[in-house]
Each structure stands twice: as C-alpha cells, then as structure tokens.
Amino acid sequence: MKLVNLIAAALLVITGSGVSAAGTESMTIIAKSDTRYEGDDLKICSIYFLSAFADEDRGYIASGTIGYARLEGRMGFAPFTRIIVGERTEGNALPIPISKTVITGAHELSTDDFEGVALANPESPDAVIIRYALMDKSEKRSFADLLLTKSLLLSFNLGENGKRYSIPVDLTFEEFDKDGKEKNSNKTLLDFYACSAAMAKITRDKNGK
C-alpha cells in the first residue's frame, strides 16, 4: 500500500473518536532502522517512525527520528532527535509548530533527563532537532539505556491549540499484510543495535582504545 493511502486509511480509522489531549487515538504506521553513510564512513544510526493521531475530527501526522550521528570534525558521536508534526489536509500534511518535545523510553528514562542543545536546520525549519549528551544529568545512565525498549512515547505541545499530546510508538511494527493485519518483529531494533555497535567500535578504534 502506498504511504499516502496508508496514512489516509490510518486516519480514517482513528479520526472522529472525540479524543482529548489526555487520551489521543493514534497508530504507528512506520518504524524502521535508518543507517546512513557518507562514502564508506558510517554517519548516522537511527530509528525513523511515523504515527498518525487524531483530535476529534482533525487528523495529524507525527514524524520522528532518534539515534546517533557522528560529530563533524571531532571524534565520537552524539544522540539526537528530530520531530516534526503536520495536520493532514486533502492529501498534504501542513507543518505545525511544536514545543517541549520529549521522548520517553525504557525504565521511564526520557530525553528530558539528558542535557540537550537545539539545532537549527534551514532545510527543515519546522522540525525540532535536538542533540543530547551521551550520559544523563546524574551521570549514571546512558542514552543507550533509553533505547533498550520495544516502544517509545513521544510527547509535545501543539502550537496551534496549546495542548500536550503523548503518542505511543511501536518499534516492533513492520507492516500491514494484504488483509490489513499488523505484522510485528524485532528487525528494526536489531538493525539499529547492530549499527550502533559498529559506530561505537569505529569510534573506539579511531580513539586508539
């Protein structure tokens, strides 16, 4: 099924449920590992997800990326998130400003527990991009601990109505089969963990450790 039709079908299922900010109907429609190279150099290990959610008769799309990126000009890598939300209107998703984005993962560990720096991206001005420290503020837990989970919770304030939404993301979602049944597996997580391990090894080797 084409993505545009998949989004439309998902929103058709969940739109009109009369939900509030405290109980939003949503559906994960994409969750996949996203590994990127620049030439032979590994640059990004991440998980990309796309979820549809609804508030009364209005449908929205939340797109997110969470993972690690190599630091330009320096050794090592840094965790990052990229979130963008749009309202679905006649075949398009019009970007809507959002704020106070938080992703919660394993052991109730969230991105709020880590020092973060917002990054500007002229190519995607509506996206909220944040780079984080590898260790949390207590220096006891790592960003990797947050990602030892099969699901995430994406929370944000929607600029147009000021409401705070919390959207669950199923990282085991694979696809819908021809009968419309959801198929699940750990492939996305296993691919992401393998990429992250390779990135960590490259960093150790370049640092001579």
C-alpha atoms less than 13 angstroms from C-alpha of 79 in its C-beta half-sphere: 20
pLDDT tens, position by position, 132-167: 999 999 999 999 999 999 999 999 999 877 899 999
Measured CA distances, 81 to 17, 103, 135, 201 (Å): 30, 9, 15, 22
Question: What value, to the nearest 5°, has the Cα angle with vertex 129 and ends 128 and 133?
Answer: 135
pLDDT tens, position by position, 38-48: 988 899 999 99
Calculate what percentage of the chain has a pLDDT beyond 90: 59
Domain that holds residue 16: 3-206
Strands, E, within 56-172: which ranges? 58-70, 77-89, 92-96, 98-104, 116-119, 128-132, 151-158, 164-170
* Whole-structure pTM value: 0.87
pLDDT band with cut points at 50, 70 and 90 for residue 14: very low
The residue written with tokens 């919390």 in the block is: 166
Cα–Cα distance measured from residue 175 to residue 182, given in angstroms and rounded to the nearest whole number: 6
pLDDT tens, position by position, 83-106: 999 988 766 778 899 999 999 999
* Contact between residue 80 and residue 129 where contact means Cβ atoms under 8 Å apart: yes
C-alpha atoms less than 13 angstroms from C-alpha of 167 in its C-beta half-sphere: 30
How many independent structural domains does the chain possess?
1
